[in-house]
Amino acid sequence: MENWRKLNGQSIDIPINEAVEATIIREREAGHRLKVCIGSDSQVRNGVVEFATVIVFLREKKGGFMFIHNSRTFREMSLKERMIMEVAKSVDIAYSLCNLLDFYNVELEVHADINTDPSFQSNTALKEAMGYILSMGFVFKAKPDAFASSSCADKVV
């Protein structure tokens, strides 16, 4: 089982799908309408690529919270490869949750930490990332609208 946690550091000790379902039920019972945004970010530190993937739960007009998963790889990657790996991690978790979210009628977005402005290096991965996410049937957001990856995951990587 992958290690997921809450922002306060509390470990999520059940499979992520069960934790997400319990969260949806709890939030519904509290009267909240939810939207889920999934995003990943990465940083290279001393030759190690560290990744953070987040599941952000947005309560309509009432803030939000997130679940966090960190991982790392010890091989060199080009920037473009790293961007695509971030997207793959987000798509992987989105795919594992999409039937559950559909069942509860919870809107889902996949956020990519990729700039739509061609003057930024990350833009080289935009077409592939967008194609990958859209071809999987997910709603795609890139910078500046991709807050799950560029703000939330960025803070915990």
Burial class (CB in 10 A: 0-12, 13-18, 19+), 111: buried
Residue 57 CB coordination number (10 Å):
20
Distance CA(69)–CA(76), nearest Å, equals 21
> Which pLDDT tens digit goes with each residue over 14-53?
999 999 999 999 999 999 999 999 999 999 999 899 999 9
Structure tokens at 90: 């987000």
- Please list the helix, strand and coil fractions of the chain in percent, rounded to the nearest 5, in that order: 40, 35, 25
> Which pLDDT tens digit goes with each residue over 126-156?
999 999 999 999 999 999 999 999 999 999 9
Structure tokens at 3: 């290690």
Query: pTM score, two decimals?
Result: 0.95
Domains of the chain: 4-156 (3.30.420)
